[in-house]
Amino acid sequence: MNPSIRIICPVAILMTSVSLSAQESGDRFTKIGEFQILKVTLHQVKMKLGPSRFTASGQAGDYQASIQYQADGVYVNFFSGEMGGPQLDLLGFSISRSRRGNAKVKISTSRLPLQTNIAGIHLGMSRNEFTNLLGVKVDWLGDKASSVFKWQQPYTPVEQKRLDPSNSAPDRHFFYMEVWVEGTFSQDNLVAFSVWKSEEPA
């Protein structure tokens, strides 16, 4: 893994208001409870919510690790992957009415309440409510919706020293940022959604 690249696969972010910057519009969807994507690891999530079995699938770039919790009939998954590094940085999460993976694996009950309203996105909302909340172009494929929000984020002084210590490319001292939001609907009701975030040096 290239330590200078961190990617969080699919998630969706959208502009909700012209008064918000791209970063403000996207990042508001990347926090669930006290857990911010790219800022914590799956191990830190487990320390707060309680024991949960790690599940893994795929190889190399398709590798995905996750932990799953349930509370009040809602299932919340926290994801990492190859770009999350050996420490398994949180790259995304999903919220749904149905469980994921092997039905024989016991799902842990969170020791804390699970937040299921993410900056206004919540299970049961309609397609129009979902689209209006995001505020930008939403692509539809049957009952599935997806959108992405993009912006450039300048390096901090620490990141510049790590990624370009000789200052050889000052015009490229920023990250390409993307946030993805995806939703699944049934009879005009949102039954599942996921959020992912990516961060890649220019």
Q: For residue 84, give the 3-state DSSP assignment.
A: helix
Give me the pLDDT at residue 4, please: 41
Range with the poorest average pLDDT among 34-38, 88-92, 102-106, 129-133 = 102-106
What is the per-residue pLDDT across 143-180, written as a single tens digit (0 to 9) for each?
999 999 888 888 888 877 777 788 787 778 888 889 99
Give the CA diameter of the chain: 56
What is the per-residue pLDDT across 24-73, written as a single tens digit (0 to 9) for each?
678 899 999 999 999 999 999 999 999 888 887 777 667 888 999 998 88
Give me the pLDDT at residue 56, please: 79
Instruction: List Cα–Cα distances, 103 to 98, 100, 159, 193, in angstroms.
Output: 10, 8, 43, 20
Which of 75, 74, 194 has the alpha carbon at shortest distance from 144?
194
Q: Please tell me which residue, 181 or 201, carries the higher pLDDT value.
A: 181
Whole-number Å distance between alpha carbons of 175 and 173: 7
Whole-number Å distance between alpha carbons of 83 and 95: 22
